[in-house]
């Protein structure tokens, strides 16, 4: 029997606001002392009252629109109760009944559409670090604004689960709502997986793997769960609904706490915060600020940039903006340069923090087009455009300084060819070529290149050689 997997994903995205969701302390705790970004509101001291951060609402609107979602003009907050040392209030402020973001969809690079059920605003919990017989509590992260994005169970493979998470990461960064730093937990994925016999109307019992923070872990965890659940069903047993953790080291999932049912949380409207009411004008004005999204670029550049190259480049929103500003005839050259540097040289994302300007890139592409630079020299100059010591000098100056400008002048090149042809050590090759040995032309071109100190344009040299040896 064949089993069909079904996957739904919940994703928490930390919003990059200056201050927290309900208080005015710093939201960016990177590199700060534990418990140094905590206000009385975050500590839940008696008498504290939360006040909603308007910027978080604005970012939620952008995030929603990036996922083609309806934005709800009316939304409000609820208390979700649970007791745990990472939450001094004893409840999380979230949006259970009236989320700010309604239904929408995310389109994967393959064209598969994953529907978004809804997305809501909520505050993050603190962070616990466990040791042998004690734990440390850091509340810096308490009430960092989050949006939780809930997908429909529209995903049916580990690869699509990976692609969905990656596309969400791209969308959120293009929309500018998060730093998108996965290593620091800016986006965390909870993955629900079930398998059911092919043709079955009912979905199988699902498990939830919590808190994955890389696309690769999502893919591996889903692969593992599909295989594990299929084996359980094949042996005639039942899959247990439970919450699981994932270990990258062992490549396995393992049970965590048992799944609470919604009623355990005793959801109730948050009495200390008024509902959010957004005007149509506000929603439209904010939506209009969304820049081009990956899907827009896929459409726009389909005829110019190879699909696999484009998918590599799409991870870098600022890079895409640069490409978009280039003259159409140069887009392909520059796109391929970026891709080759990213792939072959394995440069990190940091390398792309300080991109060459549109003018610098245009100058380089022009020189390449006019054959003033060979393809090797073009790449060399391109790399130097990132070099802090060469910054701002421009492609032409750098190419000149490095002596990379190709000799295209026919007269000058002919003179060099004559010098080479006059050398006794090339006589045999000339004779062989005249006798029909095609491949010795390479040797002769090489000799001319050497004579010109690498500056001759090899294709022009070959033309001249063929004429002279005819």
| CB 148, min distance to Mn ion, A | 4
In the window 450-469, what residues touch Mn ion (CB under 5 A)?
none
Alpha carbons within 13 angstroms on the beta-carbon side of residue 161 total 32
Q: How far apart are CA 180 and CA 299, in angstroms?
A: 24
Q: How far is the CB of 276 from Mn ion (least distance, A)?
A: 18
Q: Are strands 91-94 and 78-81 parallel, antiparallel or unpaired?
A: antiparallel
The rounded distance, in Å, linking the Cα atoms of 99 and 94 is 9
- Report the nearest approach of Mn ion to the CB of residue 376 (Å): 52
146 or 161: whose CB is closer to Mn ion? 146
For strands 187-197 and 207-212, give the pairing.
Answer: antiparallel
Taking the least distance from each CB to Mn ion, the nearer of 5 and 153 is 153
Q: Which stretch binds Mn ion (CB under 5 A): 77-85, 144-152, 382-390, 400-408?
A: 144-152
Nearer of residues 148 and 223 to Mn ion, judged by Cβ: 148
Find where tokens 């616990």 sit: 128
> Number of residues in contact with Mn ion, rule: CB under 5 A?
1
CB of 209 to Mn ion, least distance (A): 15
Stretch binding Mn ion (CB under 5 A), from 142-150, 312-320, 372-380, 438-446: 142-150
Using the contact rule CB under 5 A, the part of the chain among 145-153, 311-319, 362-370, 430-438 near Mn ion is 145-153
φ, ψ dihedrals at 204, nearest 5°: -75, 175
The residue number with the shortest CB distance to Mn ion is: 148
Rounded to the nearest whole angstrom, what is the least distance from the CB of residue 190 to Mn ion in the complex? 8
Nearer to Mn ion, 210 or 391 (CB): 210
Which has the closest alpha carbon to 355: 400, 306, 317?
317
Q: Three-class SS of residue 143? A: coil
Contact call for residue 148 and Mn ion (CB under 5 A): yes
Kindly calculate the radius of gyration of the chain based on its CA atoms and give it in whole angstroms: 30
Closer to Mn ion by CB, 78 or 148: give it. 148
Tokens 């409207």 locate to 269
Measured from the CB atom, the residue of 265 and 443 that comes closer to Mn ion is: 265
Q: Residue 212 in contact with residue 247, Cβ under 8 Å?
A: no
Least distance to Mn ion from the beta carbon of 25, Å?
Answer: 21
Instruction: Please enumerate in sequence order all residues whose Cβ is within 8 A of that of 227, keeping only pairs 6 or more positions apart, or say none.
Output: none
Question: Which of 48-56, 140-148, 243-251, 300-308 is the region at the interface with Mn ion (rule: CB under 5 A)?
Answer: 140-148
Residue closer to Mn ion, measured from CB, 16 or 417: 16
Nearest to Mn ion of 120, 220 (CB atom): 120
Q: How far is the CB of 270 from Mn ion (least distance, A)?
A: 15
DSSP 8-class letter at 85: T
The distance of closest approach from Cβ of residue 151 to Mn ion in the complex, given in angstroms and rounded to an integer, is 14
Q: Which stretch binds Mn ion (CB under 5 A): 129-137, 147-155, 270-278, 363-371?
A: 147-155
The least distance separating Mn ion from the CB of residue 94, rounded to whole angstroms, comes to: 6
Q: Which is nearer to Mn ion, 148 or 163 (CB)?
A: 148
Residues in Cβ contact with 135 at an 8 Å cutoff, skipping those fewer than 6 apart: 85, 128, 129
Report which secondary-structure segment, H or E, holds 197: strand 187-197
- Which residues contact residue 286 at a Cβ distance below 8 angstroms, ignoring those fewer than 6 apart? 58, 61, 62, 65
| Residues in contact with 466: Cβ distance below 8 Å, sequence separation at least 6, in sequence order | 441
- 107 part of the interface to Mn ion, by CB under 5 A: no
H helix runs in 302-451, sequence order: 307-313, 317-325, 328-344, 358-369, 375-384, 395-401, 410-422, 427-434, 440-451
Nearer residue to Mn ion within complex by CB, 93 or 385 = 93
CB of 208 to Mn ion, least distance (A): 12
Q: What angle do CA 222, 228, 231 make, to 5 degrees?
A: 140
Residues lying near Mn ion in the complex (CB under 5 A): 148
């Amino acid at each position: 029997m064949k089993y069909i997997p079904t996957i739904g994903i919940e994703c928490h995205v930390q919003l990059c606001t200056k201050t927290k969701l309900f208080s005015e302390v710093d939201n960016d705790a990177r590199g700060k002392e534990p418990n140094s970004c905590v206000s009385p509101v975050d500590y839940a001291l008696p008498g504290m009252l939360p006040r909603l951060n308007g910027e978080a609402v604005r970012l939620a609107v952008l995030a929603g629109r990036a996922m083609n979602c309806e934005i709800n003009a009316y939304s409000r907050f609820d208390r979700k109760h649970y007791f745990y040392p990472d939450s001094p209030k004893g409840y999380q402020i979230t949006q259970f009944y009236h989320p700010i973001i309604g239904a929408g969809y995310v389109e994967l690079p393959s064209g598969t559409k994953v529907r978004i059920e809804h997305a809501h605003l909520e505050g993050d919990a603190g962070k616990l670090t466990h040791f042998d017989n004690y734990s440390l509590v850091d509340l810096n992260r308490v009430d960092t604004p989050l949006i939780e994005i809930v997908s429909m169970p529209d995903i049916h493979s580990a690869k699509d689960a990976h692609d969905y998470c990656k596309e969400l990461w791209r969308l959120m960064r293009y929309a500018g709502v998060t730093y998108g730093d996965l290593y620091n937990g800016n986006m965390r994925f909870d993955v629900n997986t079930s398998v059911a016999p092919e043709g079955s109307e009912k979905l199988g019992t699902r498990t939830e793997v919590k808190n994955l923070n890389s696309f690769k872990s999502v893919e591996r965890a889903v692969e593992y769960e599909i295989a594990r659940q299929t084996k359980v069903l094949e042996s005639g047993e039942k899959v247990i609904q439970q919450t699981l953790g994932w270990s990258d080291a062992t490549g396995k999932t393992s049970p965590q706490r048992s799944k609470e049912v919604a009623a355990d949380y005793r959801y109730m409207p948050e009495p200390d915060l008024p509902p959010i009411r957004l005007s149509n004008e506000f929603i439209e004005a904010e939506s209009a600020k969304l820049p081009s999204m990956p899907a827009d670029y896929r459409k726009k550049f389909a005829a110019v940039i190879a699909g696999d190259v484009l998918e590599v480049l799409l991870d870098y929103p600022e890079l895409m903006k640069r490409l978009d500003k280039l003259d159409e005839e140069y887009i392909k050259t520059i796109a391929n340069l970026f891709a080759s540097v990213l792939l072959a040289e394995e440069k990190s994302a940091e390398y792309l923090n300080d991109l060459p300007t549109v003018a610098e890139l245009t100058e380089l592409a022009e020189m390449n087009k006019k054959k003033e630079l060979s393809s090797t020299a073009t790449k060399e100059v391109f790399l130097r455009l990132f070099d802090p010591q060469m910054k701002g000098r421009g492609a032409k100056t750098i190419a000149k300084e490095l002596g990379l400008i190709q000799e295209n002048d026919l007269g000058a090149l002919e003179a060099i060819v004559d010098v080479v042809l006059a050398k006794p050590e090339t006589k045999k090759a000339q004779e062989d070529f005249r006798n029909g040995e095609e491949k010795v032309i390479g040797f002769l071109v090489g000799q001319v290149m050497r004579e010109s100190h690498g500056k001759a344009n090899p294709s022009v040299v070959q033309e001249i050689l063929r004429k002279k040896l005819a």
